[in-house]
Homo-oligomer: A and B are copies of this chain.
Amino acid sequence: MDSMHDLGGMEGFGPVQPEDNNGSVFHAPWEGRVLGLQRAILYSEAWNIDVFRHAQERIHPIEYLSWSYYERWTHTLIATALERGLFSLDEFRAEVSLTGNLSESLKVLTVKGVDKTFVRGNFERDGIHDPQFSVGDLVITKELHVNGHTRLPRYARDKIGTIIAIRGRHVFPDAVVSHGAENPQWLYTVEFEGCEVWGEASDTTVSNLVDAFEPYLSRPEYD
A13, CB-defined interface residue at 8 Å: yes
**A158 located at the interface, meaning its Cβ lies under 8 Å from any Cβ of chain B in the complex:** yes
A66 near B62 with CB under 8 A, answer yes
A58 within 8 A of B: yes
Query: Shortest Cβ distance from A209 into chain B, in angstroms?
Result: 18
Residues of B close to A154: CB separation below 8 A: 9, 154
Given the interface pairs A65-B61, A145-B201, the reply to whether A1 lies near B9 with Cβ below 8 Å is no
Cβ-defined contact, A199 with B61, below 8 A: no
Q: What residues of chain B lie closer than 8 Å to A1, measured between beta carbons?
A: 11-12
Q: Which residue on chain B has the smallest CB distance to residue A12?
A: B3
Distance in angstroms between the alpha carbons of A142 and B200 in the assembled complex: 8
How long is the Cα–Cα vector from A196 to B145 in the complex, in angstroms?
A: 12
Restricting to A49-90, which residues have a CB under 8 Å from any CB of B? 57-62, 64-66
Query: Which residue of the partner chain B has the closest CB to A7?
Result: B61
Partner of A142, one of B197, B199, B221: B199
